[in-house]
Amino acid sequence: MKEHSKPERTGNAGGRHMNRRQFAKATLAGAGAAAARAIMGPTSEAEATREKADEMRKHIRTSDNPVQIDEKKYKRFDACDTAFNSVSREFGENYFMHLIRNQMKYVMQGKTCRDVQTGSVREARHVYAFGNAFNNILEQLGGDGTNMENRGPTNSWTPLEYTKPLMIPGPPSEKDPDVLTPMTKAVSRIAGADKVGISALNRNLIYASCQPNPDFFAGHEQDPPIRKPINFRKDVKEPGENDHELFIPDTDINAIAFAVEMPRVMVQTGAQFSIVGASMHGYARLGYIMGTLSEWIRMQGYWAIPAKNDTGANVPMAAEAGLGEAGRNGMLITPEWGPAVRLAKVLTNMPLHHDQPIAFGVAEFCGHCRKCARECPAQAITYGEKTWEGTSSTNAHGAYRWYNDGAKCLKDGWIAEGSTCAVCLATCPFTKGEMWPHELTKAAIKHAPALNGIWLSMDDAFGYGFWKERNYKDIFKYGVSTYGLDPKKMKKEFI
């Protein structure tokens, strides 16, 4: 594999950043006349699409194969080997206990993570409380989904006890996907999804097995983790579980994928405690969305399997449903919000039309950028090229992608920082607000890929991604709208 050196930061000498005029001047001067000609076309397009992210998608090309798998090498991933589970086994207790101990230590030192000092315990406690308050109700909504297959009200694979009397017996009354598809997306959007996409289920993305005793994961008991397979069976009509397995009917299955935007200003605090709130806020919204949609599907006479980070891999499933592209950091990168989203899905036998996967230059751009790898506190993100071979037991080998070290991310990132570290989201050039240099950059990525090599320097020069310089007070400074999101992006379209 070709080795790549760690790119150096540029454009931040003395802590001073370029203003917008300086940015544009440096961009055009550095790229030369040919670059200027290439940029001017994307500039006009970016200006026209800035106010409405859905319009941007009309200009994005489609993709036929966002998930490439070598059938000879690939095996469905065992969810018992996720970093959360494997690191907890390594420690002999839930990894989260280690994270919390560090978090409490940093608060008493007046810090908002390992290296960011606020100057007082009072200030650090503000951020600690703000970040962790969003985690409270989340536990009633299935957490982030880890090890929650068929557990709890929002993750149940069958109708809930109090909704069973509402189920109409007999076959479905509506079978036309022309009718059901827009209705499914409407219900999802009304429930809170910012983006919805549908694809035929790729069964390679369903976990081979799961760990259905999250009490061990939560550190409440000492029994060893249980490994329970997830099987497709021709002899069942509905999904379910017995003492030996979870089972899914072997029939035509669709995957409905959702994305919810994370509050951008919170995301841009990187590894500080406020990122915990941004992440948990998204997962709580997803619990409501997928729980609501699943019950709606069941009341129509079909079965539904709701899942967040459980049951199957979110990023490739969302990519196949047309929500975005997989980036170097292992996250889904969307045209609207970059990687600052949380994902979930509902699997169902309801007949639905499929959305087309998209390609808007992420693979090419990430190949040049490597900013997330440079800034990762754990140095867990690869600097190398895409490959078919994983680098650790937390990887699903045999897929063509960038492979990162999940265990290293968790131990040297999350636990070390005392937070659900998101430096790779905060520093990603796609994670920005609505401003013309951002739109110009995104448009040039699509139209002028030869310029990709300059955008890391320009991103640094403009001062993006320096998360340690972010103050938690920025979250409140600009005024707060519903869910802490940009109201311009709360669009009305269902499809």
Q: What is the dihedral of CA 197, 249, 207, 195, to 10 degrees?
A: 10
Contact 311, 347 (CB under 8 A): yes
Q: Structure tokens of 93?
A: 């207790």
pTM, rounded to two decimals = 0.84
Count CB atoms within 10 A of the CB of residue 351.
Answer: 17
Tell the residue number behind the tokens 């200027």, with chain if given.
36
What is the domain partition of the chain in residue ranges? 56-429
Please name the residue ranges forming H helices in 134-226. Answer: 177-191, 214-217
Residue 295 contacts by C-beta under 8 Å, 6 or more apart in sequence? Answer: 159, 160, 163, 304
Measured CA to CA in angstroms, residue 430 lies from 330, 336, 357, 449 at distances of: 14, 9, 19, 15
User: Which pLDDT score, from 0 to 100, does residue 472 have?
Assistant: 75
Q: How many CB atoms lie within 10 A of CB 257?
A: 28
Positive or negative torsion for Cα 335, 338, 342, 347: positive
User: Could you say which DSSP state residue 338 is in?
Assistant: B
Per-residue DSSP letter, 414: I
Distance of alpha carbon 69 from alpha carbon 272, whole angstroms: 36
pLDDT of residue 214: 56
Q: How many CA atoms lie within 13 A of 495 on its CB side?
A: 11
3-state secondary structure 6-37: CCCCCCCHHHCCCCHHHHHHHHHHHHHHHHHH
Q: What angle do CA 127, 132, 137 make, to 5 degrees?
A: 145
CB 73 within 8 A of CB 388: yes
Distance from C-alpha of 163 to C-alpha of 291, rounded to nearest angstrom: 12
Determine contact, residues 241/252, Cβ cutoff 8 Å.
no
pLDDT confidence of residue 411: 97
- Secondary structure class of 478 (helix, strand, coil): coil
Q: What is the pLDDT of residue 223?
A: 62
* 251 token code pair: 């029939």
With a CB cutoff of 8 Å and minimum separation 6, the contacts of 181 are: 198, 352, 353
For 325, the token pair is 């592209």
Please check whether residue 273 is in contact with residue 131, taking contact to mean a CB–CB distance below 8 angstroms. yes
Rounded CA separation 22/28 (Å): 10
Size of the chain, expressed as the number of residues it contains: 495
Classify strands 246-249 and 228-233 as parallel, antiparallel or unpaired. Answer: parallel
**Which single residue is written with the structure tokens 């150096």?**
8
Question: What tens-digit pLDDT sequence spans the chain (495 residues)?
Answer: 445 555 555 444 333 343 333 433 444 344 434 433 333 343 333 334 334 556 667 667 777 889 999 999 999 999 999 999 999 888 888 898 899 999 999 999 999 999 999 999 999 999 999 888 888 778 788 889 999 999 989 999 999 888 889 999 999 999 999 999 999 999 999 999 999 999 999 999 999 999 877 554 444 455 677 899 999 999 999 999 999 999 999 999 999 999 999 988 889 899 999 999 999 999 999 999 999 999 999 999 999 999 999 999 999 999 999 999 999 999 999 988 999 999 999 999 999 999 999 998 899 889 989 999 999 999 999 999 999 999 888 999 999 999 999 999 999 999 999 999 999 999 998 887 554 445 555 566 556 655 555 656 666 655 565 777 777 777 777 666 677 665 554 444 433
Short-list 143, 111, 406, CA closest to 272: 111
pLDDT at 215: 54
In angstroms, the CA 30 to CA 170 distance is 68
